[in-house]
Amino acid sequence: MGSDSMQDLPDAPLSWGDTRWNKTGNWRHMRPEVRERAAPCAKACPLGNPIPKVMTAVSRGDLEEAARLLLERNPFPAITGRVCPHPCEVGCNRRRYDEPLAIRSIERLVGDWIQEHRTVYFPSETGKRVAIVGSGPAGLAAASYLRRQGHRVVVYDRNDRVGGMLVDAIPSYRLPRSVVEREARALEQMGVVFQLGVTIGRDVSVEQLLSSYDAVLVATGAHGERRMGIPGEEHFLGGLEFLRAVRRGERKPPGRRVAVVGGGNVAIDVARTLVRLGASPVILYRRTRKEMPAIEEEVERAEADGVEFQFLTLPTSAVKLDGYLRLVVVRMQLGERDRTGRPRPVPIPGSEFELECDAAIRAIGEVAETEFLPREVLDDQGWVVADKFTGATKRAGLFVAGDLVTGPATVVEAIAAGLRAGRAIDRFVRGEALPVQEKPLPTVPLKEINLDYFPRASRVSIPELPLAARCKTFDEEILGLDLNSARGEAARCFSCGSCNLCANCWIFCPDAAIHLDGDLPWVNLEYCKGCGVCATECPRGVITMKEELAREGAVA
């Protein structure tokens, strides 16, 4: 360089031309990688809901976009937004920082928005026909998916209303019937046909369905009530039977003091329903609170409702006396772990005591009824044998999903299974290979979140009926968030592993090597010196540094 005169120089020492000729990328020995990863919430979600993206949309107040994103993975957010045990909130990185996001409540807000703003979707017809047996969450999810693909879908149910366990077992204070009805109506408007009051295996056989449809999905759930096998068992009511009666209008409790045997969701639903009928339930469970398979939040709510728990107890007989029942109950202790990994309860000899009550309800588990299925898809014990991912059975065209296969599980798991089966059936009726399970994306742990960007903030308080009021009514007990609270709550989301174009990388890059003209930032490696500022300043672990491939002659 050099100049003949000061007059030729600018006042500020600014380069004459642009500096793009100076490709500083060859200084680099680490390179940033822009790669979205799974958030722990989405990974924990059986549906794989794109939660961070939904949160970003909600925080901007864009419910339409949130709805679009959610519906890609979950056809019924208004339902899961109410009854899902929200494993997402357990997975939420914020749980280990302050408090988990109220993801379920936000999902509910979006779900309710969908129910109000839904437009009917008319797919182009494929001419393929699919029968679905069972209108519970698994069957409805498959119906929704398959209809959207353009197949004719007929859903059979032996019941006279759509929804299965959603309307027959889950109490209305957790899931109002109207919510399910709106979903059923939307499916009908889309062209799904419901054949109610038809029992497959009695009115029509599976074989008949198989011969008149291109594929059949059986998702009949688990409605058989497990028996205890003790003397006097005939004096016990079935838990599902009781819940069904209440959902159909029964409001008289079977007695004032009612023993409820079991520790699962049905037992809790029964006990909390009894409270609402004015009875005093006592739950007898043979293990401790820690081992209860029921949704933890529901157990807590049952405790708040005033349900009495007697842990490590098991009835061994029942006799009916003059207007009341006398149960003989033995105390248990926990022994070795069993196949499920839970400690096995063992009776303590000589610890029997008597417990008097007006009625007793048994809710120790539900089993699938499989007798109506072709023999070839069952094993020796009568369990259905099917591919865990697709639900395909040995019989071509016959698929299964939901509690029928897994035994009693959650609504969200049934929806997930129904969708997986739906996707498999779609491929099957098109004559394509069935889908295979994708390798899950790696997740972003809390330590990869740049917490400097996230002041601690407490979780939104979710409105609900006051305790005293909720115990007297079957009205929904948890209420919805308003849009403003939901936006504030959604803004707490770290958006782990999910870029929301916050532009921090762009701001901090000293080489102007980051570009934001796409869905994700990208790095112009011709200029990136590999300083790593972008990776450090990415609040959400989307950018990570990776060593460059060893250059020739470099010492590894």
248 binds another protein (CB under 8 A): no
Q: What is residue 313's three-state secondary structure?
A: strand
Q: Which stretch binds another protein (CB under 8 A): 4-12, 31-39, 116-124, 395-403?
A: 4-12
Q: Does 468 bind another protein (CB under 8 A)?
A: no
Nearer to another protein, 22 or 473 (CB): 22
Residue 512: how many CB atoms within 10 A of its CB? 12
The one segment of 18-26, 87-95, 311-319, 439-447 that binds another protein by CB under 8 A: 18-26
Q: Which of 18, 160, 336, 438 binds another protein (CB under 8 A)?
A: 18
Is residue 103 within a helix (H) or strand (E), and if so which, with residue range? helix 103-117
Residue with tokens 């109207």: 178
Using rule CB under 8 A, residue 2 touches another protein? yes
- Residue 447 CB contacts under 8 Å (≥ 6 apart), including other chains: none
Whether the CB-CB separation of 196 and 202 falls below 8 Å is answered with: no
- Tell whether residue 15 is a contact of another protein (CB under 8 A): yes
Amino acid at 553: G
Binding to another protein by residue 554, rule CB under 8 A?
no
Nearer to another protein, 7 or 340 (CB): 7
14 binds another protein (CB under 8 A): yes
Contact residue for another protein among 11, 160, 438, 519 (CB under 8 A)? 11
CB of 448 to another protein, least distance (A): 22
Enumerate residues 477-536 that contact another protein by CB under 8 A. 512
Question: CB of residue 510 vs another protein: minimum separation in angstroms?
Answer: 10
Q: What is the spatial distance between Cα 422 and Cα 390, in angstroms, rounded to a whole number?
A: 8
Supply φ then ψ for residue 330, to 5 degrees: -105, 145
455 is a contact residue toward another protein (CB under 8 A) = no
Mapped onto helix, strand or coil, the DSSP state of residue 130 is strand
Binding range to another protein, per CB under 8 A, among 8-16, 184-192, 369-377, 473-481: 8-16
Residue 20 CB, nearest distance to another protein (Å)? Answer: 6
Task: Tell me if 138 sits within 8 A of 411, measured CB to CB.
Answer: no
Which one, of 387, 287, 385, 376, lies nearest residue 340 by Cα?
A: 287
Question: Which of 535, 540, 534, 538 is closest to 493 using CA atoms?
Answer: 540
Q: Rule CB under 8 A: is residue 552 a binding residue for another protein? A: no
Beta-carbon contacts of 492 under 8 Å, excluding residues fewer than 6 positions away, are 94, 101, 454, 457, 459
For residues 130 and 514, which CB has a smaller minimum distance to another protein in the complex?
A: 514
Q: Where are the beta strands (DSSP E) in 134-226?
A: 152-157, 193-196, 215-218, 224-225
Considering CB under 8 A, how many residues would be counted as binding another protein?
17
CB of 1: closest distance to another protein in angstroms?
Answer: 5
Is-contact 284 328, C-beta < 8 A? no
- Interface with another protein, residue 17, by CB under 8 A: yes
- Minimum CB separation of residue 509 from another protein in Å reads 10
438: its two tokens: 């994708």
Amino acid found at 540:
R
**Of 7-15, 288-296, 405-413, 418-426: span binding another protein (CB under 8 A):** 7-15
- Name the residues that contact another protein, by CB under 8 A: 1-3, 6, 9-15, 17-20, 22, 512
